[in-house]
Amino acid sequence: VQDTDLCVMNVQTVVFNDDRINLDALQKLVIVPTEAVEFIARLYIAYFNRLPDAEGLRHWVTQHQHGLSLDTITHYFLQQDEAIDLREMTDQVLIETAYRQILSRAPDAVGREYWGETLKSEDLNRSDLFLAIMHAALSTDSADRDQLNEISELAMYFAWHSGLSDIDSASV
């Protein structure tokens, strides 16, 4: 149907040939600031080393809509079985893991030393290291920021725009 308005009610997903539009996700996208949705999507990448699944992302976005802060959501991510076990890792292994999961690379010598000293001085909680590295990468004009933005765009497409929930296909 071309150049025709169509009114649909109580429809969650519309499929056109090879394209699928999740109307429920689009409605929530309008209600929640994009930055908050992207932040939650990045938590999946940082702590679970995978793209978010649609159901999980919608769950946490809904929690945020109902007043749960992003800091509290981050805390809940760390309590999930899927989250890496921060208590078992040495500082150096933790830094290596954070770089690999967030930036898809090994830490350089300067980064390894900086984050190691920051953890040693207890200026940063071990559980906040992943967020600190993510924020540092996003705050500079660098290949790391570009890498993280690319993965974030993929995450948003996978879960938010396409509504996909196949966790096996979501590894980064």
pLDDT along the chain (172 residues), means of 10: 62 71 59 80 89 88 91 90 82 95 94 96 89 92 89 76 55 54
pLDDT the model gives residue 60:
93
Nearest one of 59, 29, 54 to 158, comparing CA atoms: 54
59 phi and psi, to 5 degrees?
-60, -50
Q: Strand ranges (DSSP E) for the chain?
A: 13-16, 19-22
What angle (nearest 5°) sits at the alpha carbon of residue 143, between those of residues 137 and 147? 75
pLDDT the model gives residue 136:
94
pLDDT the model gives residue 150:
85
**Can you give the pTM of this predicted structure?**
0.70
* Residue 144 neighbours by CB under 8 Å, 6+ apart: 103, 105, 137
pLDDT the model gives residue 171:
55
CA 78 to CA 66: how far, in whole Å?
20
